[in-house]
Amino acid sequence: MCTANLIVTNHEAQSFPSCSLAKDDSEAYKDHCKPQRLEFDRVLCDVPCSGDGTLRKSHDLWRKWSSSMGNEFHLLQVNIAMRGIALLKVGGRMVYSTCSMNPVENEAVVAELLRRSGSSVELLDVSTELRELVRRPGLGTWKVNDRGSWFQTHEDVPDSRKNVILPSMFPSSTSIHESHKVYNSFDVNSEYNVPFSRNFNIEDTNNVNCDTGGISSSNSAQSLDSKFPLHRCMRIVPHDQDGGAFFIAVIHKLSLLNENQVIKVRKTENLLSKNRTVKLQEQCQHRIVSEVLDDNKLLDEQTKLSVANQTSKDDNLTEVKMASDVEYSQTESGDRSRRMDKLDYQHKWKGIDPVLFFKDEAVIKNIVSFFGIEESFSLEGHLVTRSTDNARRIYYVSKAVQDILELNIQVGEQIKIASLGVKMFERHRSKDGCSCAYRLSYEGLSLLFPYMRKRILHASPVDFQHLLQYRTINFARFADARFGEEAASMMPGCCVVVLREGYQIADSIASDPSPIAIVCWRGRATMNVLVSPADRKELLEYRFGIKAFKVEDEKSNKNIDALAEESL
């Protein structure tokens, strides 16, 4: 993504590490103004869901969808969102979103978040933002479906299913309302006689109730209404904007969570999950079925049992695997021993290259001197690599990313980092006698170029176009003879070629905040472009309007001369 502020991680969201320092280390870190735990200003919590809001484009959902899909995702969604809130800074915002229409995955999850977090968070009213977005208020009441039956409260659920259908799936309130109501002359359950207003004020429907039971509202029984302001959530339905269905809720963190309450709820969840697995096992072993099931339902039950058993085994294997990661050592010889040595270099996470700070001062000074990098652009402490010796690629990271990496090292590399920063330098194997072992990467050029004072050439539009088209050009073949002479007089190695617009001189280009530049290699007798064909083609289209031209790696000198004469 070509940004120094990026870290790509690979974790289960509900178990994302907080990287909290121990108390002694935390006190020492305060003096250096370093972060003591990993916290975020903003969290986008786009959780896994049943995806029934994508029915218009995901045709396979018509075959495999069932109401139980939302019930199965509910607990996972709550755990992921709660982890997001825990990692959120006080004063920060988290956006919870799904592509589902099921209230069990939407309003029920938000209500449970508010219930667990207490006064630590609030559900924001964002009705005044994005006014052009056609949205509907969140539901205040709903029913939960399980095996063809609808339940209004958890007390209505049969005892045999109460470990599957959780209390958090239902609205919670001490008052009872009719499930079909009209607010401000707006009938929630009826078909709309007028288009839904783009400037509709969500706060106008304070406690909107909607019967989602699929039964006639005139015959529906009473249902509990949520005590939380769930009308502040946003529902986007397909027929309002001819698109898909989405659910969005914005949560603002007011204070730190009560950790004791979070731990208590987490233990309860683990117990419910364990009881559910044990119950399914007993039913299968003793062939006890609580209700008459047809063949399809029985097959569905067996499938769930298989998944539960596999999950239980995976949990046990995970503990064993983590223990083996710590105790892993070299025990065999030959090829296997060499492979194990390589794994040892990967530190905690197998299959993931380690992130190491690049601290070779001699190499860094050589790079700074060769490219004339200003002191205001410091490289020390900002360079990282993914290999232990003879680093092939060097990445640049921002100060914020640097602090997180240092924190991650302090806590024992809890974060599994897949990618980070922007590739700035790459080792070359050229035999042209270059005094610098590393060349610039085109990905990091835009970040470094404003601070470079050496190895810069300025090409005319004609020569710049030719470099993009043909990649390699002899010095004598450039349309601008002066440019060819400057290239020939430069020492071999990596350089930057900047597009000079017609009459512009070098000084005016240097002051341009967004010049068009490419990375090249000054060889013995040629100038070679170090830019991928895709990027070269994009530049040709963007700057020269050439869309149908095929980018080639090589071209005969005859064709170059012909094109140069035509351009001149």
For 426-444, the pLDDT digits (tens) are 999 877 788 899 999 999 9
328 pLDDT more than 60: no
Question: What pLDDT is recorded for position 291?
Answer: 39
Amino acid at 379: L
* pTM listed for this prediction: 0.71
Mean per-residue pLDDT of the chain: 77
Q: What integer is the mean pLDDT of 26-54?
A: 83
The answer to whether 171 touches 141, Cβ cutoff 8 Å, is yes
Instruction: Give residue for tokens 């484009």.
Output: 57
Binding residues, as ranges, are 25, 46
Q: What integer is the mean pLDDT of 26-48?
A: 80
Between residues 409 and 562, the one the model is more confident about: 409
511 pLDDT more than 90: no
Look up 520 and say whether it is catalytic: no
Question: What pLDDT is recorded for position 426?
Answer: 95
Q: Of 8-12, 159-163, 328-332, which gets the smallest average pLDDT?
A: 328-332
152 pLDDT more than 70: yes
Question: What pLDDT is recorded for position 344?
Answer: 42
Max mean pLDDT range (39-53, 334-348, 507-521): 39-53
| Both structure tokens of 549 | 């031209």
- pLDDT band with cut points at 50, 70 and 90 for residue 261: low
Q: For the residues of 538-551, what is the DSSP string, one character each? A: HHHHHHH---SPPP
- Bridge pairing between strands 186-187 and 7-9: unpaired
Encode 348-384 in three state secondary structure. CCCCCCCCEECCCHHHHHHHHHHHCECCCCCCCCCEE
Q: For the residues of 81-134, what is the DSSP string, one character each? A: HHHHHHTEEEEEEEEEEES---TTTTHHHHHHHHHHHGGGEEE---TTSSTTS-
Q: Of 1-5, 201-205, 510-514, which gets the smallest average pLDDT?
A: 201-205
Q: What integer is the mean pLDDT of 238-257?
A: 95
Question: What pLDDT is recorded for position 505?
Answer: 54
10 pLDDT more than 70: yes
List pLDDT tens digits, range 546-562: 876 665 544 444 444 44
DSSP letter, residue 67: T
Q: Which residues pair with 425 in a beta bridge?
A: 394, 440
Q: What integer is the mean pLDDT of 272-284?
A: 48
- pLDDT band with cut points at 50, 70 and 90 for residue 324: very low
Question: What pLDDT is recorded for position 299?
Answer: 42
Q: Of 86-95, 176-185, 267-276, which gets the smallest average pLDDT?
A: 176-185
Question: What pLDDT is recorded for position 115?
Answer: 93
Question: What pLDDT is recorded for position 374?
Answer: 96
Residues 488, 525: Cα–Cα separation, whole Å: 7
For 404, residues 6+ apart whose C-beta sits below 8 A from its C-beta are: 7, 19, 35, 38, 415
- pLDDT band with cut points at 50, 70 and 90 for residue 158: very high
Residues 502, 515: Cα–Cα separation, whole Å: 14
Q: What integer is the mean pLDDT of 342-346?
A: 43
44 pLDDT more than 80: yes
Percent of the chain residues topping a pLDDT of 70: 67
* Active-site entry in 99, 434, 436, 495: 99
Q: What integer is the mean pLDDT of 387-405?
A: 91
List pLDDT tens digits, range 223-247: 467 789 999 999 999 999 999 999 9
- pLDDT band with cut points at 50, 70 and 90 for residue 514: confident
Binding residues for S-adenosyl-L-methionine, as ranges, are 25, 46
- pLDDT band with cut points at 50, 70 and 90 for residue 566: very low
Between residues 365 and 261, the one the model is more confident about: 365
329 pLDDT more than 50: no
Amino acid at 504: Q
Sign for the CA dihedral angle at 126, 71, 44, 21 comes to positive
